[in-house]
Amino acid sequence: MNPLSNLDQEHDAAPAECRPVTPAQIPAALRLILSNTAQDAAESQITDFIRYSEQRGIHLADLQVIQANGRLIWAILPMVNPGRTVLLFAAPVRTARSHPAAVDSAIDSICQRLAGQNVQLAQVLLDPTDHATIDTYANRGFSRMAELIYLHRTLRSTGSSIAAPPPPAAEFELQSYSPATHDAFAAAIVASYQNSLDCPALNGVRDIADVITGHKAAGEFDPEDWFLLSRRGQPAAVLLLNRTPQIEHMELVYLGLAPPVRGLGIGNYLMNLALHRVRQRNFAGLTLAVDSRNAPALRLYHRHGMQRLMSKVALMRDLVTNQPLA
């Protein structure tokens, strides 16, 4: 039996208390967050998340909970990331449907506290079918950025080799990330935002230094897995790969092309390079997330064997300006 199934039927008149979690309540708070509409979270999921948190430096003491009638009914974990962003990992609002004002207050309180800690952007990733939770965050100043489609391709079990792709042309030069190439990477990333279809509302919102810091923190960063493609000495495209040892995959953190090199087959070249790198590093596969509206990128990824895993709605709130993200 799913203990969350009865929550939708409750009309609890008792006052709700929002406060930091106690150490003894951490498993129960995580169960609320990790459970879904179909079933309660398994003990193994909670144990795995606690272990993952220890590995990634996530502070479970930052959990905030709402309690009513002596039991927890909602929980939220702010996971602050390098690059001045935070991911809010929370239970769906249905678990506290009798106390919507308490949920609203908790979200606002966390956002205000994080703004005081120099965090710029708060993000939530939500089930596209959970309209009540989506509406709750939209009413708290979160703008809908995109529906992100998560793709993957398994490589290790295929047994086939993937050769290193040949250079696209003599006028192109491939380099790895280093202090000497940092500025060129930054220039290529900024150039790739021009007329981009991937979360266009974010273009120009964040400082490029924060963007690069955030990309480095998405998994395990190795400068040898970040690639810059220059054309006649001008930064033209980037491919950023990070390792995700927990699932033995590499993540394509970002692939971007400046307008002058679009339509020249550079995307295919960089995807072949990414798949070659995954095999070279002996990882099991490649994962990525892409804006569902970015049709050219989806065609590229599908052409290279990437398959859909799931989708999430991404909403963001600018904690500095408190203005909607267009």
Residue ranges per domain, the chain? 3-140, 152-309
Per CATH, domain 152-309 is 3.40.630.30 = yes
CA 196, 111, 136: angle at the middle one, nearest 5?
75
Q: What is the pLDDT of residues 230-264, one digit of tens each?
A: 999 999 999 999 998 778 899 999 999 999 999 99
What is the DSSP track for 46-73?
Answer: HHHHHHHHHHHT--GGG-EEEEETTEEE
Whole-angstrom CA distances from 322 to 111, 127, 183 are: 10, 24, 30
The number of beta carbons lying within 10 Å of the beta carbon of residue 120 is 20
Q: How far apart are CA 251 and CA 243, in angstroms?
A: 6
- The predicted-structure confidence for 31-73, as pLDDT tens digits, reads as follows 999 987 667 788 999 999 999 898 888 999 999 999 998 889 9
The angle, 0 to 180 degrees and rounded to 10, between the axes of the packed helices 295-303 and 266-280 is: 50
For domain 3-140, give its CATH number from 3.40.630.30, 3.40.109.10, 3.40.50.300, 3.30.450.20. Answer: 3.40.630.30
Task: Tell me how far apart the alpha carbons of residues 77 and 60 are, in angstroms, rounded to a whole number.
Answer: 7
pLDDT surpasses 50 at 7: no
Q: What is the mean pLDDT of residues 211-228?
A: 95
User: Which is nearest to 83 in space by CA: 235, 224, 275, 211?
Assistant: 211
Tell me the whole-structure pTM to 2 decimals. 0.89
Q: Is 140 within 8 Å of 126 (Cβ atoms)?
A: no
* 11 secondary structure, DSSP code: -
Common-topology check for domains 3-140 and 152-309: yes
- Rounded to the nearest 10 degrees, the angle between the axes of helix 208-216 and helix 182-192 is 100
Q: How far is CA 70 from the centre of its chain?
A: 34
Which DSSP helix (H) or strand (E) runs through 210?
Answer: helix 208-216
Q: Rounded to an integer, what distance in angstroms lies between the CA atom of residue 220 and that of residue 127?
A: 26
In the numeric block, which tokens belong to residue 8? 């939708």
Give per-residue pLDDT as tens, 110-159: 999 999 999 999 999 999 999 999 999 999 999 999 999 999 999 876 55
User: Which residues 6+ apart lie within 8 Å of 208 measured at CB?
Assistant: 186, 189, 190
Helices 100-115/131-138 angle, 10° precision: 50
